[in-house]
Amino acid sequence: MRVIAGLHRGRRLLGPRGQAIRPTSDRVKEALFSILGERTTGARVLDLYAGTGSIGIEALSRGAAHVTFVEADRQALRLINSNLEQCGLQQSANVCACQVSQFFRRATQWSGPYDIVFCDPPYQLTPELITMAQEWNAGWLADDAVVIIEHGKKAEIPQTLGLLSQVKRYDYGDTALTRFHVTAKATQSR
Torsion of CA 117, 71, 50, 67, to 10 degrees: 50
Which residue range is the domain that position 74 belongs to? 26-188
Number of domains in the chain: 1
pLDDT at 188 > cutoff 60: no
What single letter denotes the amino acid at residue 165?
S
Dmax (CA) for the chain in angstroms is 46
Q: Is residue 164 part of a domain?
A: yes
CB 67 within 8 A of CB 47: yes
Residue 136's pLDDT is what?
84
Residue 107's pLDDT is what?
53
Residue 190's pLDDT is what?
47
Residue 4's pLDDT is what?
77
Considering only 3-7, 17-21, 25-29, 42-46, which range has the smallest mean pLDDT?
Answer: 17-21
CATH number at residue 112: 3.40.50.150
Average pLDDT, the chain: 87
Region 155-177: what's the mean pLDDT? 94
Q: Is residue 94 part of a domain?
A: yes
Q: Is residue 10 part of a domain?
A: no
Which pLDDT band holds residue 93 (cuts at 50, 70, 90)?
Answer: very high
DSSP label of 61:
H
How buried is 65 (Cβ within 10 angstroms: 0-12 exposed, 13-18 middle, 19+ buried)?
middle
pLDDT at 119 > cutoff 50: yes
Bridge partners (DSSP) of residue 119 are 48, 149
pLDDT at 15 > cutoff 90: no
Q: Is residue 4 part of a domain?
A: no
Q: Is residue 7 part of a domain?
A: no
Q: Is residue 15 part of a domain?
A: no
Q: Is residue 89 part of a domain?
A: yes
pLDDT at 5 > cutoff 90: no
Q: Is residue 151 part of a domain?
A: yes
- Nearest CA to 35 among 116, 114, 134, 93? 116
This prediction has a pTM of 0.90
Which pLDDT band holds residue 16 (cuts at 50, 70, 90)?
Answer: low
**What is the SS3 assignment for 96?**
strand
Tens digit of pLDDT for each residue in 75-85? 999 999 999 99
